[in-house]
Amino acid sequence: MELLNPYAHLRGFNYTPSTAVNDISFWRDYDEGLVERELTYAQRLGLNSARPFLAYVVYEHDPNSFLNRLTHFVRTAHDRGISVMPVVWDSCFDDTMPTIGSTENKWIPNPGVQRLGPEFWPAGEAYCRDLVQTLGPEPGLTMWDIMNEPMITSWVGEEVPQRDERISTIWNFVHHFCGVMKELDSAHPITVGVANVATLAHVETHVDVLSYHDYLPTRAAIRAQIDDGLRVAKANQKPIFISELACLARANPYDVTLEICQEAGIGWYLWELMIGKSRWRDIHGVVYPDGTVRDPSIVAAIQGFFRRRGPDMIPPAVDKEGAATRVLGQAEDWLGKADGDYAQGVSLLETIANLLETGEHVPMSDPPSARVLALIEAEESPVNRAELNRLLVLWGETLSAALVRA
Q: In tens digits, what is the pLDDT along the chain, a chain of 406 residues?
A: 444 469 999 999 999 999 999 999 999 999 999 999 999 999 999 999 999 999 999 999 999 999 999 999 999 999 999 999 999 999 988 888 999 999 999 999 999 999 999 999 999 999 999 999 999 999 999 999 999 999 876 665 556 667 788 889 999 999 999 999 999 999 999 999 999 999 999 999 999 999 999 999 999 999 999 999 999 999 999 999 999 999 999 999 999 999 999 999 999 999 999 999 999 999 999 999 999 999 999 999 999 999 999 999 999 999 999 999 999 999 999 999 988 999 999 999 999 999 999 999 999 999 999 999 999 999 999 999 999 999 999 999 999 999 999 7
388 vs 398: CA distance, rounded Å: 15
Where do you find CATH 3.20.20.80 in the chain? 2-302
Total residue length of the chain = 406
pLDDT of residue 124: 98
Strands (E), 234-381: 240-245, 268-270
176 vs 141: CA distance, rounded Å: 22
> Of 176, 197, 172, 261, nearest to 223 (Cα)?
261
β-sheet with 49-52: strand ranges across: 83-84, 49-52, 11-15, 268-270, 240-245, 210-214, 190-194, 144-148, 87-90
pLDDT of residue 1: 44
**Class at the top of the CATH hierarchy for domain 2-302:** alpha beta
pLDDT of residue 158: 59
User: Which amino acid, 108?
Assistant: I
DSSP letter assigned to residue 105: S
